[in-house]
Every structure is written in C-alpha cells, then in structure tokens.
Amino acid sequence: MPQREFDVVIGPTGTVEVTVKGYKGKGCLEAVKMFEKVVGELRSEQKTNEFYEPEELVRYQIDQKH
C-alpha cells in the first residue's frame, strides 16, 4: 500500500513550506497544485530525483482457466 506524506511548516508570517513525499511524476505536481489552491502563490519549487521516476503502475495478474 503506497504511502503519501506531506511535511508542512507554517511560518510565523503564514508562509508555507511543503515537502511532498511518496508521489512520482504527475501525482507530485497535482499535490503541489492542491497546496497552491489552499494556501496561495507558489514562490519556489524544487523537484527531487523521485519526481522524474515513472508513475506507478498497477499490475494485474490474470489466470486463465481452461
């Protein structure tokens, strides 16, 4: 079960720093957009290596019954 996590620091002036963990690819951008919608203007963004990893795929295994 994948785990999503945010470390949020709300500074004394209301400025917010968010560390997004557990997202890969576009999912990460959506998480950042969510905080933009809730808090306000995006001042800076730093993508880490995990951001460039392929998005998670759900793999199904189907057994054929004869």
Contact footprint for another protein (CB under 8 A):
1-24, 28, 31-32, 34-36, 38-48, 50-51
- Which tokens go with 46? 């730093």
**What is the closest distance, in whole angstroms, from the C-beta atom of residue 33 to another protein in the complex?**
10
**What is the closest distance, in whole angstroms, from the C-beta atom of residue 63 to another protein in the complex?**
23
Q: How far is residue 39's CA from residue 4's CA, in Å, rounded to a whole number? A: 19
Closest to another protein by CB, 11 vs 65, is 11
Residue 65 to residues 11, 23, 40, 61: CA-CA distances in angstroms? Answer: 59, 36, 54, 13
Closest to another protein by CB, 58 vs 65, is 58
